[in-house]
Structure 1
């Protein structure tokens, strides 16, 4: 039996306040108590995909294209002067919903909001993580 997914339930029940519905991705309004700013929008793949490694290249590209379209609409229609993207993948990321999702949050000069993380990781790992990452990419 699969784990229930609140985002899959929204798609199946057609119970979200949709901002955009496309072939591979959808955008919708978060619950009022979860909204970080006016116009804050969630963008997800239509099919349940877990984290950044779950979607196909086509699905991930469709999600990112929709993220950009939503951010552009925020700029042109809401007058936002910035956009903050939030995405967390994996069990140790703090995400509460496994279905890949991006929070697209519009920002303005008078927000007085700071979405940037203030805590820093205490993890001690590879002596030069950038060498390891570069090696994995080549």
Structure 2
């Protein structure tokens, strides 16, 4: 038996965070929980605090002010505690350069963010289903 999947969404868009919160709220709390951060610096400060409970997987937007998603991903991979966290880039950018850059920085996956709520819900459901079935040793109770 495993505990609920813990997901952290890092996205500067309040509207996108709200949509994600709505989509995740439609799932059973026993399956998945979502926390959000509005910026890379906020997420890094939270994840490097002494008593933090780390998420199981991170959904990370690319286009953010202050610190874009690539810089956040680089900071994760350089950190001895955070470097093994699966990070899924979650962006509207279909640019080949962005996709290649994300994988070069060791992103676990690249998911194109749908602009239609129904399709967005399907993406979230598939994301949760995949990561709930993934073998993440630290998720065992």
Q: TM-score range by the shorter chain?
A: under 0.3
Give the TM-score normalised by structure 2. Answer: 0.26
Larger RCO, structure (CA 8 Å, separation 6 or more): 2
Structure showing greater radius of gyration is: 1
